[in-house]
Chain A
Amino acid sequence: MTQDSRHIVIAGAGHAGGSAAAMLRQFGWTGAITLVGEEPIPPYQRPPLSKAWLKGEATAESLALRPARFYPDATIDLRLETKVTGIDRAAMTVTLSDGGTLAYDFLILALGARARKLPLDGVDLEGVLELRSAADADRLKAALHPGAKLAVIGGGYIGLEAAASARALGAEATIIERESRVLARVACPILSEFFQNFHRAQGVTIDVDAQVATLEGAEGRVTGVRLGDGRLVPCDAALVGVGAVANDELAREAGLTCHNGITVDLSARTDDPVIFAIGDCTSRPLPLYDRTGRLESVPNALEQAKQAASAICGKPAPTPEVPWFWSDQYDLRLQIAGMPFDTTQVVVRGDVSAARFALFHLTADGTVQAVEAVNAAPEFMGGRRIIAKRKQLTRVRIEDMSVSMQELAA
C-alpha cells in the first residue's frame, strides 16, 4: 500500500477525537494522523465518570477507549498535555501550546465543551467541583465517603447521576434546582416527576425553585450553599452541574462560522472545506427535525467522527441517525430516542409506578418525534425505528400493551 503523504491533525483527544483517529485507520487512511489532547491520559469514555467510576466499579483500563498500545500500533501520533492554540487557515498550520507548529491537509476540531461556571462568590473554594474529566471525577470520588454531604447544584443528568452514585457510596446528597423540576431543560414533566420521586425515595433531598446566592466556606474550603431565600445547605463538597458551553473560540478566532458551537454540515465539515468539527463543540443539522442544534452525547460524537472520516476517506456519507441518549441511575436505565420538537401530546405506554414505561412525544398529526424509555428497551429500540420512519401513531395504539413494539414499529 502506498502511503498517503497528507497529514490529518485532530485537535482534541476526547471521545470524538479519539474515535475519529481510529475510524480513519479503519477506513483505510494511510497518511499521518496527529491527535492532540490537553489531558494527561489517552482518550477515554466519559459516561462512566458519574457512575461506575465514582462507585469504584471501573478501572483506568476499562475507561480507556482503546489500550495505550493502540496509538503507536496504528501509527497515530498522540500528543498528550498539549493544546492547539491557534489555526492559520491560509498557511494550513496549527500552533501548539508547547510552541510547536503542525502543517495539516485536513484538520478535525474535536474541542468538546466545558462546564458552565456559576457567576457567584465562593465558586473558587476548595471542594466546589465540576464533572467533565477523569481528574474532576477523582476529586469528586475523594469527597464521597459514607456520611459525607454532597450539594449538587443543577438537577440535570450529571447532577442526578452523581447524586445516585453518592447514595450508593453512603453519602448524603441534596440537589438544588433553579427551575420548578429536575431535568427541566431535557425531559418532560412526567419524567421529571418520576425521577424526583425515585431520588427522594432513595434519600436524596431535592430543592426545586431554589436560587443559589453564594457558596460559603471556612479556611478556603466550601462548607455550604446559601440559597436565595436565606437557607443554608451544609456540605463537604458542592458539585456544579449547570450545563456546558461549546469550546468554539479557536474556530471563531480562525473566522469559521459559529453559532453556539462550530457550524457544520452532515459531513461534519465547517465552512472551510478542509476543516471538520465533531462532537460537543459543534452546531449541526438535525435533518429529522428541520433545524440545527448542539447534541452533547457520545452517540453524536461517534456519528460525527464517522461523518468526517467518511468524507476524508472518500466513502459515502453515513445515513443520518436518530439522536439518542442514555442515563443510568440506581437500577433505572433511561434511554431516549429522538428529540421532542414541535410536539403537542405525550402518551404513556407501560406502568410509571412499576418503573417500566415509555413516554411517546407526538406532533399534532401524530408523528412520533421522541420516546423516553425507562427500563423499557423494546420501546426505545422500536421508538428509534418509528422516529426514523417519521411514522404516525395514535394514542390508543401506543397505550395498548397487547400491541407489541414490533407491530408498532413495523
Chain B
Amino acid sequence: MARITYIEHNGAQHVVDVPAGKSVMQGAVDNNIPGIDADCGGECACATCHVYVDAAWLDRVGLPAPGSQEASMLSFAAVTQPDSRLSCQITVTDAMDGLVVRMPEGQH
C-alpha cells in the first residue's frame, strides 16, 4: 500500500491509498480522480495517463527505457517534460508511499 498524492493542473490535490501491484493510473481511475483519462485501460496504447513525477521520487519511480513503447508514446504526448511518465506503466510498490504526481493541463 502506498499513499499517493495526485495534483490536478488547477492545483486540486487528491490523496489516496493505492495497493502495491496496481498502477499509478489505476489508483487514479479507481478513485475517479480527474486529469487521468486512461482511454486504453492501461495498455500503453494511448498516452492519456500522462503525469509528471515529483523530483524527489524520480530515482525510485524511474524513467521509461529509451526506445520503449512508453518512451515512444510519451514523445508525442502533450507538453512533455523530463519527468514525464505514463502512469499505467508505473507499478506501485510499498516503497512509493508518499509519492507525488502532477497532471498536465489535458491528456488529448
Contact = CB atoms under 8 A, between A and B. Distances in A.
Are A and B interaction partners? yes
Interface of A: 22, 25-27, 45, 47-48, 65-67, 70, 74, 298-299, 302, 318-319, 321, 324, 326, 328, 333, 335, 377-378, 381-382, 384-385, 405-406, 409
Nearest to B32: A22
Contacts of A326: 40, 43, 45-46
Interface residues of B, number: 20
Contacts of B73: 377, 381
B72 interface: yes
A54 to B, nearest CB: 15
Kindly list the 5 A-B residue pairs having the minimum CB-CB distance in the complex, ordered from nearest: A381-B76, A377-B72, A26-B34, A326-B45, A45-B41
B81 interface: no
B74 to A, nearest CB: 9
Contacts of A318: 108
8 contacts: A26-B32, A66-B30, A67-B30, A70-B31, A298-B40, A298-B41, A319-B108, A326-B46
Contact of A377 (B29, B40, B41, B69): B69
Contacts of B47: 381
Contacts of A47: 40-41, 43
Contacts of A27: 34
A234 to B, nearest CB: 35
Nearest to A328: B43
A65 B77 CA distance: 23
B30 A302 contact: no
Nearest to A74: B32
A102 B49 CA distance: 36
Interface in B33-77: 34, 37, 39-41, 43, 45-47, 69, 72-73, 75-77
